[in-house]
Amino acid sequence: MRPPVLAPIRREGWPFIAAAALVTLLLWLAVGQFFGWLGALATAWCAFFFRDPERVTPIREGLVVSPADGIITLIEPAVPPPELGMGPNPRPRISVFMNVFDVHVNRAPVSARVAQVAYRPGRFVNASFDKASDDNERQAFHLVMADGRDLAVVQIAGLVARRIIGWVGEGDHVTVGARIGMIRFGSRVDVYLPAGGAPLVIEGQRAIAGETVLADLEASEPARQGMAR
């Protein structure tokens, strides 16, 4: 089956698109074509923002795929959010920053059981900053794989993000690449790998949700190195 030419739009986006279209019509009638065209651009951007394209996910056991579209901004050891109760030991953390032009639907990095979902209110500093992991509003998922290994996925609100949406709850089972939530508008997603997991991506690399392999838990390859060219 051929993939669609245009990406589907999430139902959560239709109220925003309808509101933008209504404002565009009012501007066109009351102010003139110039502002009407600006409104039309805003409406088109709303539709673009809430797109939800299909992805082709690698499904070999041990692969950890990116939960978000965007740029990998940080790869470093860090302790998972304390509200998940995953212990005080640092784990490899990979941060993916989404700007307002990226797809904002987040996906499961592995097939696993959702052991815990924890929401914590916070600030709205720029999500590309390191301190955003600790200070910003966030929603964290503790995922436990069939072999007992676990990891965390954390949705972090950004400078203009004002709503974190989750579509899975505690006790649910998710398959790798499945949609688990989204964040409106501009944000970041952190992945805390199991201890000893070696990242196969580098800072500055672009990731695609559900497709880009962040790590291979079955491999003995060391953390990948690279440079921009």
H helices of 110-160, where? Answer: 132-135
Distance of CA 102 to the CA centre of its chain: 10
Instruction: Tell me if residue 187 is catalytic.
Output: yes
- Please answer whether residues 67 and 105 qualify as being in contact, where contact means their C-beta atoms are separated by less than 8 angstroms: no
Taking residue 10's Cβ as centre, other Cβ atoms within 10 Å add up to 17
- Among candidate residues 95, 128, 133, 187, the one labeled active-site is 187
Q: Is 148 left (phi over 0), alpha (psi -120 to 50) or beta?
A: left
> Could you give the CA distance from residue 141 to residue 144 in angstroms, rounded to a whole number?
10
Provide the 3-class DSSP secondary structure of residue 228.
coil
Q: Which residues belong to the active site?
A: 187
